Amino acid sequence: MNESGEKLQKVLAQAGFGSRRLMEEWIAAGRVSVNGEPATLGMRVVEGDLVKAERRTIRVGARDHAVRVLLYHKPEGEIVSRDDPEKRASVFDKLPKLRGQKWVAVGRLDFNTSGLLIFTTSGELANCLMHPRFEVEREYAVRVQGTMTETQMDQALRQGVELEDGPVKFEKLEDQGGEGFNHWYRVMLKEGRNRVVRRTFDALGLPVSRLMRVRFGIVNLPPRLKRGMCAELGEAEVAQILDWAGMVADPDELQQAPSAPDHADRVRTAKTGHRPASVARTAGSARRTGGKSKTGIKR
C-alpha cells in the first residue's frame, strides 16, 4: 500500500463532501473512484490524482483544496439551501465561485432570520462545529412583542421551557431594553435545534418580531460586514478556528490570508472587551469542557 500522500477520506472531507466518517462509508459502498478505479478503505492519494464522488470530480492538490472559511451576513428573505421548490433567493447565490470544492454551511438560519453564517470548504470542520456533542455557543439578538416577567426569565434560564421536542434552557439571557410594545433580549444557548429561539419565546407567549445571530463559537459578526456581504478569513484566523475545533492546522492546507480592513474584527473572544483572539492551543479541549483556554477564549 502506498504510504505517501493524504488519506482519501481526509481529502474528500476537506473538499466539502462531508465528514471523514461519512467518506469512509462512501468508499466502502463503492461510491468513490480514484483515477478511474474503485477506491478502497485506507487508500492514499497524491497531488494530481483524479478523485470522483457523487458526480463531482476533484484533482488532488494542496493549493486547490485549501481549507477556506467565509463569513456571510445573511439578510432576511434568503434560504440556506441550494434546492428550493419555491425558487426563493439563496445565500449560496452570493458566495464566491469555487473550482473542485463547494461551500458547506455551518448550520442554518431561518428564512426570516438574519445574522452570522459561516461557510467552509472543509466538511470535517463543518461537522465538528455542528455536532451536538461539541455544544458550540450561539448568541442571538431577539426582539419580541411584549416584555418577559421575572418568572419567565427564571424559567428560561433555570427550569427550562418545554417544547414538543424536549426542554430548552438559555445559557445567558440579558434584557436589552426597548420602546413601546417591542423589547430586545440577548440570548445564548449551546444547541442548534430548528427554530429553537423562536419556539422558546412563542411558548412563553412572546412572539419574535426580529431575530439576528451575532456570534457562533469564537466568531462574532463583524460590525463592518453589511447585510448581504461576505468576508473570507485569512490564514491565521482559519488556523485559529481549526485549533479551536480540535483539528490540527496543516500549513499546506490553509489559504493565503486576504487583505481586508476588518481583519481583526472577525474572530474575537466572547468577552465584552471584544479584543481580537489569539491562537489558543488548548481551545478545542476548553470548548468541550465548558472552561477557558489559556488565552482566555471563553466557551
**Structural Rg of the chain based on CA atoms:** 21
The question of whether 110 is a catalytic residue gets the answer yes
Of the listed 64, 110, 202, 250, which one is catalytic? 110
| Cross-strand bridge partners of residue 173 | 187
CA dist 281 and 278 (Å) reads 9
Strand pairing report for 230-232 and 219-220: unpaired
Instruction: Kindly list the catalytic residues.
Output: 110
